[in-house]
Amino acid sequence: MAATKTKTTKKAKPAPEKTEPVKEEAVKTEEKYYATVGRRKNATARVRIYTKKASDENSGEDNALITVNGKDYLSYFQGNEELKNLADSPLKKLKSVNRFKATVKVSGGGIRGQAEAIRHGLSRALVLFDANFAKKLKKSGYLTRDPREKERRKYGLKKARKAPQWAKR
């Protein structure tokens, strides 16, 4: 008996349907903001201020006045009342604490330098919002960048100016 070979045909797989990926549209409503940078020593704060609407103030949720690196500024500067006051002092000076909402991204330096960088950035943003604020903020010294930074170390010295102990012999 001769074995007959039967040809098996492979079933063609249906071509996958070419569908375009569904792009999710951002649900966020774009709010207008004023962005500035504040600096102090090695700290840098990128500040955005938004104007609060009447509907924002009446909502039941507690909106943070200033948000620093994703946290409320009161918890970011926890325990140190002076730094909290430093950060929001430009808003208090202009008596517009409930009028603005700010988001800040701060990096570098110490906690004190960061608070002063936030103050500098907030002041600059408020002047962008209304140039009439400049006179009051300038008089308080909030618009001036404090240029004092750590001096670099020189060769032959232990620190910037501290020399090694001198020996006569």
Q: Is the dihedral of CA 130, 134, 135, 137 positive or negative?
A: positive
In which band, very low, low, confident or very high, does the pLDDT at 21 lie, cut at 50, 70 and 90? low
For residue 132, tell me if it sits in a domain.
yes
For residue 117, tell me if it sits in a domain.
yes
Q: pTM to 2 decimals?
A: 0.74
Counting residues of the chain whose pLDDT is more than 90, the rounded percentage is 63
Distance from the first to the final alpha carbon of the chain: 116
Q: Which domain holds residue 50?
A: 33-140
Look at residue 128 and tell me whether its pLDDT is greater than 70: yes
Contacts of 147 (CB under 8 A, 6+ apart): none
CATH code at 44?
3.30.230.10
Closest CA to 44 of 119, 102, 116, 106: 106
For residue 20, tell me if it sits in a domain.
no
Q: Write phi, then psi, for 87 (nearest 5 degrees).
A: -65, -40
Look at residue 61 and tell me whether its pLDDT is greater than 50: no
CB distance 72 to 64 below 8 Å: yes
For residue 133, tell me if it sits in a domain.
yes
| Mean pLDDT, all residues of the chain | 84
Q: How many CA atoms does the CB half-sphere of 78 hold within 13 Å?
A: 4
Number of domains in the chain: 1
Residue-level pLDDT at 6: 62
For residue 111, tell me if it sits in a domain.
yes
Residue-level pLDDT at 65: 85
